[in-house]
Amino acid sequence: MNFHTSLIHRFENEGTQFAYVTSSAAVVQLDQVSTGILDSFSDPEGEDPARWLESLDKELQQETREAFDELAAMGILRPVGAPNAPPEQLPPMPFPLSTLVLNVTNKCNLSCTYCYEYGEDRIAEPKKPDGTPRLPMMTPETACKSIDFLFESSQGRSGVSITFFGGETLLNFKTIRAATEHALERSRELGRSVGFSLTTNATLLTDQVIDFLVEHRFGINVSIDGNRLDHDRHRTFSSGKGSYDAILPRIRKLLEKNRPHGRPIGARVTLTRGMAPVPETFHHLAGEIGFDSVGFAPVTSAEDHEYALGEGHLGQILLGFEDLAGEYVEAALRGERHAFSNLHDLLQEIHQGINKAHPCGAGLGLLGVSTEGELGLCHRFVESGEHALGNIEDGIDEEKRSEFLAKTHISKKIACHECFARPHCSGGCYHEAHVRYADATQPNLHYCEWIRAWTDLGLRCYGKIACGNPDFLETFNQATHPPKVATVKDEVTP
Ligand code: SF4
Ligand code: SF4
């Protein structure tokens, strides 16, 4: 029987060879013998191992045979014709929740041009099926009930996470405060932990709000797009005036008050056409303003928007990411932390051997809750009849949830089966797929090249750090960057 290499991605660092094994998401450092074996068995037609071993010098045969067996046991070599398809192992249902994303408001005090909430890519239906308008603000009662629902639906987990989202989340600070206090009380009663996070445009960060968020150790992500020019191009008030000057002093105060006590604070940049190079934006946010981490998310939109990114733009962004990745690795080799969170998160996934059967937690451990308590796959799918998954009063529509998760399991995405990057991507964001293909269950095949290039970059950085300062990899066993509401670019693309 002929053998050949399975689905692996090979990379090297200054002569040290590595293989990333797609079936297990493991990074394997190869010695000279293993490298020679993989070179000899790389042809898709394969090679007969017995015949090949016999062709070697006698004294090499024993060592090579052992190395061959080890590579076969790790799934790096396999019989020709054995399928690359991931096994169809569906998660046990009902899967316990770990996170609820509460859409505490669907209103915003900004009018960002690319916002999915108000644009034509919007999934949420503005009116209920009976024609009445949806509630713009979640009441404290609905938020507290949602939290009770989360504790009940997360049995077996020691802790839960609550993320507040909008619209502009802080427009409904009253509900955030009530929900936080209620969650803390319940967590004490139940002897379970609870963590909080939110995303904000920073316009409403008053002293009182900042003190509350710092005191309760919120993970905070601030939406900011870089320097004044880039930020104000899209992130404007309804008058058309940019919001940069309004938010900068508030952000500085938040960072100052948070630094001694709180968790790291992240900047989240939406990348659109025509922006300054990524490294310049990064240094403005991390260096000049002082964010603890900076993450970039290419805008999610249909291709025809003037701000949409084309392939050329994505190539430019990747070059910028390469520069930042170089800085990150240099810092890691000195044992220092660097604020480029896309790479940090990717390296953490690589180090932990994360192998996703679904692209993100949506519908699995994570659900979104609308202002009225309706459940959706995630925050981007609430208030959409088609994607509704029950409500906090009657519980999760388990049949619909299971059906969706079965349809979106990586084993069902045939086009992804031969892709080495599938442990990270697993087909990509459901929301992006809905926008692009009007079907949330489809893999996002429009950005595969980009995903594979980004994954390759992450692996090469991992190899450099593994060779130069392996102790640094220990930091990936701790969560150091702010927790986030998963978005397509946070979880799936850089
Ligand atoms: S969507 Fe593309 S990059 Fe992602 S797993 Fe599928 S084939 Fe790979
Ligand atoms: S990756 Fe997409 S589907 Fe998943 S949680 Fe984020 S926005 Fe929702």
Per-position pLDDT tens, the chain of length 494: 999 999 999 999 999 999 999 999 999 999 999 999 999 999 999 999 999 999 999 999 999 999 999 999 999 999 999 888 899 999 999 999 999 999 999 999 998 887 765 555 566 777 777 888 889 999 999 999 999 999 999 999 999 999 999 999 999 999 999 999 999 999 999 999 999 999 999 999 999 999 999 999 999 999 999 999 999 998 999 999 999 999 999 999 999 999 987 789 999 999 998 889 999 999 999 999 999 999 999 886 666 677 778 778 888 999 999 999 999 999 999 999 999 999 999 999 999 999 999 999 999 999 999 999 999 999 999 988 888 999 999 999 999 999 999 999 999 999 999 999 999 999 999 999 998 899 999 999 998 999 999 999 999 999 999 999 999 999 998 754 444 433 333 333 33
Pick the atom of ligand 1 nearest to 413's CA: 6
Report which bound ligand comes closest to the CA of 7. 1
Q: Examine the fold and report which residue of 16, 45, 79 is the final residue of a domain before the chain moves on.
A: 79
Q: Is the CB of 221 under 6 A from ligand 2?
A: no
Domain assignment present for 288? yes
Q: What is the CATH number of the domain that holds 198?
A: 3.20.20.70
The Cβ-side half-sphere exposure at 315, using a 13 Å CA radius, reads 3
Q: Is the CB of 425 under 6 A from ligand 1?
A: yes
Residues 154 and 160 sit within 8 Å (Cβ to Cβ): yes
111 with 75, same domain?
no
262 with 360, same domain?
yes
The whole-angstrom separation of Cα 22 and Cα 291 is 34
How far are the Cα atoms of 167, 272, 284, 315, 325 from residue 225, in angstroms, in the given order? Answer: 17, 9, 10, 19, 20
Query: What pLDDT does 482 receive?
Result: 42
Ligand 1 centroid, distance to 238 Cα (angstroms): 38
34 with 145, same domain?
no
Query: What pLDDT does 348 receive?
Result: 97
Probe ligand 1: pick from 413, 451, 457, max atoms within 8 Å of CB?
451
Pick the atom of ligand 1 nearest to 410's CA: 5
177 with 134, same domain?
yes
169 with 312, same domain?
yes
Residues 68 and 130 sit within 8 Å (Cβ to Cβ): no
Q: Is the CB of 422 under 6 A from ligand 1?
A: yes
Domain assignment present for 375? no
The whole-angstrom separation of Cα 378 and Cα 301 is 18
177 with 274, same domain?
yes
Which residue has the least CA distance to atom 2 on ligand 2? 429
State phi, psi for 199 to the nearest 5 degrees: -115, 135
Domain assignment present for 411? no
Domain assignment present for 486? yes
Ligand 1 centroid, distance to 423 Cα (angstroms): 9
Domain assignment present for 184? yes
Strand partners, 223: 268
Question: Is residue 392 packed enough to be buried (19+ CB in 10 Å), middle (13-18) or exposed (0-12)?
Answer: buried
203 with 63, same domain?
no
Give the strand pairing for 99-103 and 366-369: parallel
Ligand 1 centroid, distance to 428 Cα (angstroms): 7
Tokens 């459940």 identify what position? 375
Which residue has the least CA distance to atom 5 on ligand 1? 422
Query: What pLDDT does 132 receive?
Result: 86
Question: Is residue 171 packed enough to be buried (19+ CB in 10 Å), middle (13-18) or exposed (0-12)?
Answer: buried
Structure tokens at 466: 């593994």
Ligand 1 centroid, distance to 425 Cα (angstroms): 6
Domain count for the chain, please give it: 2
Domain assignment present for 438? no
18 with 134, same domain?
no
Q: Examine the fold and report which residue of 79, 112, 146 is the final residue of a domain before the chain moves on.
A: 79
Ligand 1 centroid, distance to 4 Cα (angstroms): 23
pLDDT tens for 88-107 read 999 999 999 999 999 999 99
Q: Note down the domain range covering 488.
A: 99-368+454-492
**Is the pTM here over 0.85, yes or no?**
yes
187 with 262, same domain?
yes
309 with 201, same domain?
yes
Q: How many residues does the chain have?
A: 494
34 with 173, same domain?
no
58 with 164, same domain?
no
Q: Examine the fold and report which residue of 79, 110, 129 is the final residue of a domain before the chain moves on.
A: 79
Domain assignment present for 115? yes
Query: What pLDDT does 302 receive?
Result: 61
Q: Is the CB of 378 under 6 A from ligand 2?
A: yes
Domain assignment present for 68? yes
Probe ligand 1: pick from 419, 424, 439, max atoms within 8 Å of CB?
419
Q: Is the CB of 487 under 6 A from ligand 2?
A: yes
Ligand 2 centroid, distance to 183 Cα (angstroms): 24
Report which bound ligand comes closest to the CA of 444. 1
Side chain identity, residue 95: F
Residues 361 and 375 sit within 8 Å (Cβ to Cβ): no
